[in-house]
Structure 1
Amino acid sequence: MVIVQERSITRAAVRLFLTQPAVSLALKRLEEQLGRRLVDRAPGRFQLTAAGEQVYGEAVAIHATVTRLGTLVQDATEEISGHVHILATSRIQTPLLDRCLRDYHRLHPQVTFRIDVMASADAHIALQQRVAAFAICLLREPIPGLASDVLIHQTYRLYCGPDSPFFGRRAIDIAELRREDFVSFTSDQIDGALSPLTLFRAREGFAGRIVGSSANLEEVRRMIVCGLGIGPLPEHIAARDVADGLLWELPPYEGVAPVDVHIIWNPQARLNRAERSFLDFLLRHVRERPPEERLPAD
């Protein structure tokens, strides 16, 4: 590299604090090793060959990498620090996520977290705009430019609150529910993340009014418990309320629709060290455990 930059064996030797014969011999050895002549030299003439041009380009790149090594490792301490920004839909319940947060914090206590709760559609847009590390939310179909992995499989079932005439009844015919007022999610629309709920209502001929809706699962649950109408909730989230006498399961007893919760990220986003570390940590633990083992135990 220095020979080319100085365009002289003699000047290169001076810059490298070597003798002129030593530099000439080093160039000769390199040419012999590569089997190509790299420099055409004659009195008053110094010309790189085509092979010389290629080797010079590689030499510059190698030198740049070696020169940067000190800078690269200067901040690479064993302790990871930084801030992790996560987007999430409301009321995601899985012990796997809880365990990953706990274990990662114990490993890297200097890392801080911010979790913003929002609708899945808004999280998708934020990821496309690269304003967050990743999201934990619903995903109806793949989104160009975003990658995803299933966190949990969940089944939505239909429930009513204690004030409903159906509360406590068994063997209810689904036809009896078709004119009941309904509570659901704002993403419960034909192009939304919960469109399977829309298709269910259409397929079963539900004609009641939608009297309440929210992007927040806890608020949908509140409206069902308070008797505004019947509505869908993830089975594993409603289980405690069913056991406590606050909700009652309605037909169809096989469930309304399967809706998965995904981990979604933008591969083109520039994640900081903490964000990349935690995302890799979470994905590794998710992929080590089958989906049926990621839901809360009964």
Structure 2
Amino acid sequence: MKYFLIVAEELSFVRAAARVHIEPSPLSRTIKELENQLGVQLLHRSKGRIRLTWPGEVFREEARRIIAVIDSAKTKVISAAQGFHGRLRIGLADSLAPPRLTMLLARYREEEPRTEVRIVEMTVTEMLNGLSHGVIDIGFTVDHTSLPGFVKDPIWADRPAIVIPKNHPLLSFETIPISEALRYPLILCHPERCAGGYNAIRRLFGDPALPSLSVAEYASSHESMMMLVAAGYGIGIGLETQIALYRNPNVVVREMGDGVPSSVTYAVTMREERSRELEGFINRAIAIGEIPRPAGLVTL
């Protein structure tokens, strides 16, 4: 099944074989044996090109779920053997690394030492798939868009800020109006690798303004954005707490004007009943954040 998933990703036996360090021919035979066992055709093969059949697409999702369950069982057993009595798997989207997250993890480790915590960075799409397939228990994102089937808890808020190179004309403003920022090339969050940040920018500027934006470059993290701004490629827009982690002597940070709203970080989980470890973790996150928890859960 793992071989099949890699072939389904690459849609090439040559590239897939290189990833698993075997020759293309035995890999192709392995997938053919899998098709014989299932009694269905998973792949269309035509002139060296392959694509998934509809049964292949269905099996891809089932294979992901089955492998996630098996991997989960393995890690649970290993954690138990190491003395842990609980486990919490966290997905971080949008390259989030705010100081409050550090405080949260430190407090949770101090108060729940027998719960193992694992963290993985991922895109918003990967986070939602990970939650759906049980690969992670909770995800963090700044994506404000509706996520049907998931529960979103607002955890904390951050102020957006503008990062500009030294000696830039915008330095004449103490707070920078959005209308002035739009006059210059922008470095924005990547629409796929940092979808939450990109959607936050869409909300900030409004969808009608997006086509007219002058985008110098897309960045997948605040760190790469700061680097590009320092190099003079354009001005960047990010979160104050994140920007503070990557201070650069060649850039200046200014507040945004026009009553720009704060950006909210959400904890995202599935609708199912949450475990004691997960509920306790979310409660600690809310206690550290600046947003009071609403009555009941926010289900979208």
TM-score, structure 1 as length reference? 0.56
User: Structure 1 residues 203, 159: CA separation in 2 closer, same or farther (over 3 Å shift)?
Assistant: farther
User: Structure 1 residues 164, 202: CA separation in 2 closer, same or farther (over 3 Å shift)?
Assistant: farther
Q: Indicate the residue corresponding to 2:242 in structure 1.
A: 237
User: Structure 1 residues 115, 219: CA separation in 2 closer, same or farther (over 3 Å shift)?
Assistant: same
Amino acid at match of 2:183: R
Q: Does 1:285 align with 2:289?
A: no
Q: How many residues align?
A: 209
Q: CA deviation at 1:146?
A: 1.1
Aligned match for 1:106, one of 107, 110, 120:
110
Q: Indicate the residue corresponding to 2:219 in structure 1.
A: 214
Q: CA deviation at 1:116?
A: 1.1
Aligned match for 2:135, one of 111, 131, 135:
131
Q: CA deviation at 1:85?
A: 1.7
Match of 1:86, SS state, is strand
Residues 120-177 of structure 1: per-residue CA shift (max 9 Å, x gap): 2331232123221110112323322211211111222222122634346547675554
Amino acid at match of 1:278: E
- Whole-angstrom distance in 2 between the partners of 1:284 and 1:176: 40
User: Structure 1 residues 237, 230: CA separation in 2 closer, same or farther (over 3 Å shift)?
Assistant: same
**Residues 164 and 236, structure 2, Cα contact 8 Å, conserved in 1:** yes
**Residues 93 and 237, structure 1, Cα contact 8 Å, conserved in 2:** yes
Q: Indicate the residue corresponding to 1:262 in structure 2.
A: 266
Q: Indicate the residue corresponding to 2:184 in structure 1.
A: 180
- Whole-angstrom distance in 2 between the partners of 1:150 and 1:142: 13
Match of 1:283, SS state, is helix
Q: Percent identity?
A: 15
Residues 71-105 of structure 1: per-residue CA shift (max 9 Å, x gap): xxxxx9xx75344321013233143x333322332
Counterparts of residues 4-43 of structure 1 (less than 5 Å): none
Q: Indicate the residue corresponding to 2:230 in structure 1.
A: 225
**Residues 176 and 255, structure 2, Cα contact 8 Å, conserved in 1:** yes
- Whole-angstrom distance in 1 between the partners of 2:209 and 2:119: 37
Match of 2:146, SS state, is coil
Where structure 2 has 5 or more consecutive residues not aligned to the other structure, the ranges are 1-79, 293-300
**Residues 157 and 249, structure 1, Cα contact 8 Å, conserved in 2:** yes
**Residues 226 and 246, structure 2, Cα contact 8 Å, conserved in 1:** no
User: Structure 1 residues 203, 157: CA separation in 2 closer, same or farther (over 3 Å shift)?
Assistant: farther
Q: CA deviation at 1:290?
A: 6.0
- Whole-angstrom distance in 2 between the partners of 1:125 and 1:224: 33
Amino acid at match of 1:179: R
Where structure 1 has 5 or more consecutive residues not aligned to the other structure, the ranges are 1-75, 294-298
Match of 2:223, SS state, is helix
User: Structure 1 residues 245, 277: CA separation in 2 closer, same or farther (over 3 Å shift)?
Assistant: farther
- Whole-angstrom distance in 1 between the partners of 2:231 and 2:206: 21
Q: Does 1:157 align with 2:161?
A: yes
Match of 2:97, SS state, is coil
User: Structure 1 residues 193, 142: CA separation in 2 closer, same or farther (over 3 Å shift)?
Assistant: farther
Q: Does 1:145 align with 2:149?
A: yes
Q: CA deviation at 1:241?
A: 6.3
Q: Does 1:198 align with 2:202?
A: yes
Match of 1:247, SS state, is strand
**Residues 151 and 286, structure 1, Cα contact 8 Å, conserved in 2:** yes
- Whole-angstrom distance in 1 between the partners of 2:148 and 2:178: 39
User: Structure 1 residues 109, 103: CA separation in 2 closer, same or farther (over 3 Å shift)?
Assistant: same
Amino acid at match of 1:212: E
Q: Indicate the residue corresponding to 1:41 in structure 2.
A: none
Amino acid at match of 1:282: F
RMSD across aligned C-alpha pairs, in angstroms?
A: 3.8
